[in-house]
Amino acid sequence: MKHYVLLFCDPGIDDAMAMMLAIMHPQIELVGIVTSYGNVTKEQSIINADYILKVAGITDVPVIPAAFRSFSEFDEEAYPEIHGSAGLGSIIPPNHFPGNRVGFDTIRSILLTYKQNLTIIELGRMTALAKAFNLFENEFRYIKNVIVMGGAFFMPGNRTPIAEANIYGDSVSAKFIFNYLNTIITPLNITSQAMFTPALMQRLASHPKFGKTIQALLSVYTAYYKENQPHLPGPPIHDIVPLLVMVQPSLSTYVYRDVDVITNGKAKGMTMIDLRTMSEEGRHKIAWTVNADRLLHEYERAMFTGYADE
């Protein structure tokens, strides 16, 4: 089965890795990229999305420039220490590609074209997604799924002691989305369980299309994690997880709950669910446990599909 994907992202190293997976995966067709501030500025995110498409030799996937600021976190800054000075590790992409840039209303056309075949995957702050849903609510009714990388349930966050970065970055937009849309969530709980280990990175570095790019991306990401979280075998793979779980839901187990987001005070960005024994099921399908070995196996398999030395 083919999955038609409209990717909302903020590339960013793991977002760029997810783009490359979407391009390589035989069961995924990337139909558009909506790109916003987050790991990098909005302007840089556009250049970076264009760059990855250019490396892939793709000219027909539209890039939709979207949000430049959060609706609720006005001091949100880029993260060059994690993602590199331009957000792509050691790569400084030239900023003069023509690119296939189109207007925000293209999201509406994509929703109408693909309808029940369309999956939206959100890998960043939900500002642009909230804006699109607020504008095109009727068109959203027909689509298949919205899958979100974000949130941290009953575990430490990565942006604050209790908040995950994507949700913290625009907690109001996240609250809005979780209030009105059914989603599938791949939270930090599972996206931080698989890493780019040195052995995996070595194999990826030999990738015929993206090897050099991946090497340059992951060198900076790895150095950051080595210094700041030396107990980990490598940097976490966060943003590739929703794509893999979309294609193979059995990689994960799930709980179904309503999700609330705290939008102010010390707990800002915290994602809350009720898991008490008497609590009821809710509207979101939350990936709860993951088979990390199988996940990485499927990742590598998809990346190398179609190459003789697979």
Considering the complex, state which of residue 76 and residue 239 has its C-beta at the smaller distance from ligand BDR. Answer: 239
Choose the contact partner of 158 out of ligand BDR, Ca ion, none; CB within 5 to 8 A by kind: ligand BDR
> Shortest distance, CB of residue 98 to Ca ion, whole angstroms?
25
Q: Provide the 3-class DSSP secondary structure of residue 248.
A: coil
* Residues of span 185-244 touching Ca ion by CB under 5 A: 239
For residue 237, what are its two tokens?
């793979």
Q: How far is the C-alpha of 115 from the C-alpha of 144, rounded, in Å?
A: 7
Considering the complex, state which of residue 30 and residue 123 has its C-beta at the smaller distance from ligand BDR. Answer: 123
Considering the complex, state which of residue 117 and residue 229 has its C-beta at the smaller distance from ligand BDR. Answer: 229
Phi, psi of 214 (to 5 degrees): -60, -40
State the maximum Cα–Cα separation within the chain, in Å, rounded to a whole number: 57
β-pairing verdict for 28-35 and 184-186: unpaired
Does the footprint of Ca ion cover residue 150 (CB under 5 A)?
no
What are the residues binding ligand BDR (CB under 6 A)? 12, 14-15, 39, 123-124, 149, 158, 164-166, 188, 238-239
Does the footprint of Ca ion cover residue 15 (CB under 5 A)?
yes
Considering the complex, state which of residue 123 and residue 128 has its C-beta at the smaller distance from ligand BDR. Answer: 123
Q: What is the DSSP letter of 101?
A: B
Q: How far is the C-alpha of 290 from the C-alpha of 287, rounded, in Å?
A: 7
DSSP string, 3-44: EEEEEEE--SHHHHHHHHHHHH-TTEEEEEEEE-SSSS-HHH
Q: How far is the C-alpha of 105 from the C-alpha of 54, rounded, in Å?
A: 23
For residue 299, what are its two tokens?
């990742």
> Shortest distance, CB of residue 9 to Ca ion, whole angstroms?
6
**Residue number with the shortest CB distance to Ca ion?**
123
Q: What is the DSSP letter of 51?
A: H
Considering the complex, state which of residue 38 and residue 139 has its C-beta at the smaller distance from ligand BDR. Answer: 38
Half-sphere exposure of 254 (CA within 13 A, CB side): 19
Considering the complex, state which of residue 109 and residue 160 has its C-beta at the smaller distance from ligand BDR. Answer: 160
β-pairing verdict for 284-290 and 184-186: parallel
> Shortest distance, CB of residue 149 to ligand BDR, whole angstroms?
5
Choose the contact partner of 48 out of Ca ion, ligand BDR, none; CB within 5 to 8 A by kind: none
* Residues of span 122-141 touching Ca ion by CB under 5 A: 123-124
> Shortest distance, CB of residue 255 to Ca ion, whole angstroms?
23
Choose the contact partner of 164 out of ligand BDR, Ca ion, none; CB within 5 to 8 A by kind: ligand BDR
Helix axis angle, 13-24 to 211-228, nearest 10°: 140
Q: Which residues bind Ca ion (CB under 5 A)?
A: 10, 12, 15, 123-124, 239
